[in-house]
A and B are shown apart, each in its own frame.
Chain A
Amino acid sequence: DQQVKQNSPSLSVQEGRISILNCDYTNSMFDYFLWYKKYPAEGPTFLISISSIKDKNEDGRFTVFLNKSAKHLSLHIVPSQPGDSAVYFCAATRRTNFGNEKLTFGTGTRLTIIP
């Protein structure tokens, strides 16, 4: 049962344009969401996160939007740069008084920025 889904395995975007990566989840108990970026031969690195009490979080060129009613989040990258070419993983978890539960990851979307 895939609780976190990234339905687009790949995405190509022209340099300078907006990249939009999508993620859907099914578990309504999830209340904290993260995006990770992965380059070849490296481990994933944290990119940006959002709590369910917000619907938007920005960090420079990266913005994550959360639509709780639709159980959907998206990552926007503006403007897209060649160095953004990587695999992006969406992840979700539930916060408790003892810290977050384990992360559940999506299947990833490979983003290619075309110069």
Chain B
Amino acid sequence: DADVTQTPRNRITKTGKRIMLECSQTKGHDRMYWYRQDPGLGLRLIYYSFDVKDINKGEISDGYSVSRQAQAKFSLSLESAIPNQTALYFCATSRRGRKLFFGSGTQLSVL
């Protein structure tokens, strides 16, 4: 089983819909992150959480929200999806900010 699991792997949705991407980890790490990857722009940080009660905005948090339901679970929500949120989304974990371990990604398409 994967240490960092993202669901769903692929999602197609329509403009204006609410969508949630979920991430769970079995590594016991304290820190969790959401990144998006766009061609030519690399990996950009959306939100990160250093523990259950600590949530921080990243570089591109507008239009997104997150919930850290437990140490092992970190979900990303798009309250009203728009086409420029079409991207590959990655969840990652780390212990005290050392090496990040990534999930396999969620390809999201907003039509």
Q: A-side interface residues toward B, CB under 8 Å?
A: 6, 9, 34, 36, 41-46, 49, 89, 93, 98-108
Chain A residues within 8 Å of B102, by CB? 43-45
Verify if B53 is at the interface (C-beta below 8 Å from A): no
**Size category of the binding interface on chain B:** 20 to 34
Partner of B42, one of A42, A89, A100: A89
In the complex with contacts A99-B98, A102-B33, A103-B100, A43-B105 CB distance below 8 A: yes
A89 contact set on B, CB distance < 8 A? 42-43
Closest B residue to A100 by CB, please name it. Answer: B97
Interface residues of B in 3-53 (CB under 8 A from A): 4, 31, 33, 35, 40-45, 48
Question: Does A46 contact B100, Cβ atoms closer than 8 Å?
Answer: yes
Nearest-CB residue, chain B, relative to A96: B97
- Minimum CB distance partner of A49 in chain B: B99
Distance A102 CA – B50 CA, assembled complex (angstroms)? 10
B48 touches A98 (CB 8 A): no
Nearest chain-A residue to B103 (Cβ)?
A43
What separation, in Å, do the CA atoms of A102 and B97 have in the docked complex? 7
**Known A-B contacts A102-B58, A105-B43, A107-B41; A43 and B98 likewise in contact (beta carbons under 8 Å):** no
A43 and B92 alpha carbons, distance in the complex (Å): 9
Ordered nearest first, which 8 A-B pairs have the shortest CB separation?
A: A99-B96, A100-B97, A43-B102, A107-B42, A99-B97, A105-B43, A46-B99, A105-B42
Closest-CB distance, A86 to chain B (whole angstroms): 13
Asked if residues B98 and A100 are in contact (CB atoms below 8 Å), the reply is yes
